[in-house]
Chain A
Amino acid sequence: MNTNYPALLVIAPLLAALICSLFSWSAKKLCYPTALLGLSISFFSAYKVLIQVLSTGTIQYRMAGWAPPMGIEYRIDLLNSFVLLLITGIALINLVASYQSIQQETKEKANAFYSIYLLFVTGLIGVTATGDLFNLYVLLEITSLTSYAQIAMGDKDRSPLASLNYVFIGVIGASFYLLGVGYIYIMTGSLNMLDVATLLPALHGSSAVLIAFIFCFLGIWIKMALFPLHIWLPNAYTYAPTAVSRVIAPLMTKVMVYVMIRLMVTVFGFEYIFEKLHLAEAVVWIATIAILAGAIMAIAQKDLKKMLTYIIVCEIGYMVGGAWLGNELGMTGAILHIINDALMTFALFLAVGNMVYKLKNVQYSNLQGLFGKMPWTMAGFVLAAFSIIGIPPTCGFFSKWYLILGAFDAGAYHFAIALIISSLLCAVLFFKVFEISFFNSGHDKIEMSEAPVSMLIPLGLVSILLIITGIYSDKIVNTIILPFLQ
């Protein structure tokens, strides 16, 4: 039993999804408890796996007992065990926090929704845990397919079109990745990440490997919405139902950043990327432009939820740039920012979800007097906003600090300047929101109408987590990230 946690991690939500879809015909009341149970088991397994990895090192789990490189292997090391805990934790908290809003927004389809939601989480966990390149593609497509369906359950007028545009671009991204894997297979005859990594150094001069590299990364950049490949993201995330944008916004893009770092560290290797190819400088420039463009486009928005989606575009620039700086500090910053950004975005979207639950739409003009109306939600929102801006001791400050140090170390001053400018722009953005919601121009008296307690407690929990991860970020860096990079 002790050794089967990596399998349990994926199988629990998968089985729960199947059972859920059966229950949605016969015993509707059991759907929600099943989903909750599946994700709890998964979260518990992720915790156990993390403990095991910390004490005994990397876990290599052979699916059905087939030895790699023939069989599919789940390979869980320090980095992805932490990301797994993050995914299962956020998915579980969101399921609890969004119960009321799922009932309100999807109504009779709520039971079908749980089953798709579980499949989505299964896909994310699989993408993170797998050690096989093709397996990653399949799980990535499970994640994408379920996210298309979930997004289309949102706003009746806009969401199907937003989702269809996401389908077109998502398919191009996934197909590019698949094509890249094909070229890797032609050259090495293997699909196992470690096996490919041992075979690749002999082939570094080959142009087929270069093509494989370009296609893989282009595919992943499309999926993670790196500027200028981001056009699908804002509409898809804005018009999705609350419960969906709460989980997709923090996890989907962050998991794709994880995949990029995994390919860089484990498969292609730093030597190939930074010494043989001369792309790093160009990518850091693209990331710089992404940061500035994301922040500037966010300023132009009049809808809070849409503004936050542009902040995601901006944050993706941080992580891609940090990973491509080519030094330990930058990479540390990028990995730390995956964790922090997932938590910050989650907290922001939890708060916005509460507002949507009460106000129906979150246009700026609709936010007046919100501090009086929903003080607890706004407290969580302020904390998350501080973290995005990067005010210590919230966690956003520490990853930005590492990123800026890395940028100076690599001599990429333009990247450091972009980071600082975007932090200032974020401050402008959020203080604009605070100003609108603090003052009440209307004459009617404000009455408190706070979101239900089941939505407030998760928000409070995540907001406190923002500070805790901020205080312990030194520990995270020393026990997880630095040993992983060595």
Chain B
Amino acid sequence: MSEFLPMIVAKYNYWLYIVLMMIGLYAMISKNNLIKKLVGMNIFQTSIILFYVSIGYKTNATIPIIENAHGGGHSAQELVIHAADYINPLPHVLMLTAIVVSVATFGVALALAVKIYQRYQTLEEDEIRMRLTEE
């Protein structure tokens, strides 16, 4: 126990994303309502986005804009640029794309849910299954 707690605290971002991911997976597997499943899917995707955002972060670092940065300099020439002073922007940029992907997926999935609702007048999966076996 004495070793376990510090391990969680030191790497809390990883634990957080795993917990969120499991919540999402749980919802996708066990919920009966299709919209709840979709929300679970979104939580699942968001957990991975948070994971990426957290790996680009450094303690006491700032955004990677050279001018007006740490040290109070006003132009790039006055500064000695320390990579350690800046967070890594690449994972964040990647996640902009991933956010677009997850929004688009959510949109397509909602459109499909609408189509299903129009056909069966319900979004409960067991009721839809019952209808399908009746027909």
Contacts and interface: CB of A to CB of B under 8 A. Distances in A.
Contacts of B66: none
Interface in B31-46: 34, 37, 41, 44-45
A171 B90 CA distance: 23
B108 A161 contact: no
A141 B101 contact: yes
Given A138-B101, A182-B51, A175 B113 contact: no
Interface in B78-118: 90-91, 94, 97-98, 101, 104-105, 108-109, 111-113, 115-116
B93 to A, nearest CB: 10
B55 A168 contact: no
A185 B55 contact: yes
A313 interface: no
Size band of the interface chain A makes with B: 20 to 34
A148 interface: yes
B116 A160 contact: yes
Contact of A161 (B51, B55, B97, B128): B128
Nearest to A163: B112
Size band of the interface chain B makes with A: 20 to 34
B116 A145 contact: no
B107 to A, nearest CB: 9
Nearest to B101: A141
B109 A167 contact: yes
A182 B52 contact: yes
Nearest to B114: A160
Contact of B48 (A163, A167, A178): A178
Contacts of A141: 101, 104-105
B119 interface: yes
A270 to B, nearest CB: 28
Contacts of A138: 97, 101
A116 to B, nearest CB: 11
Instruction: Give 6 closest A-B pairs by Cβ, nearest first.
Output: A160-B115, A164-B112, A141-B101, A160-B116, A167-B109, A160-B112
20 contacts: A138-B101, A141-B104, A141-B105, A145-B104, A145-B108, A156-B119, A158-B132, A160-B112, A164-B109, A164-B112, A164-B113, A167-B41, A167-B109, A171-B45, A171-B105, A178-B48, A178-B98, A179-B48, A182-B91, A185-B90
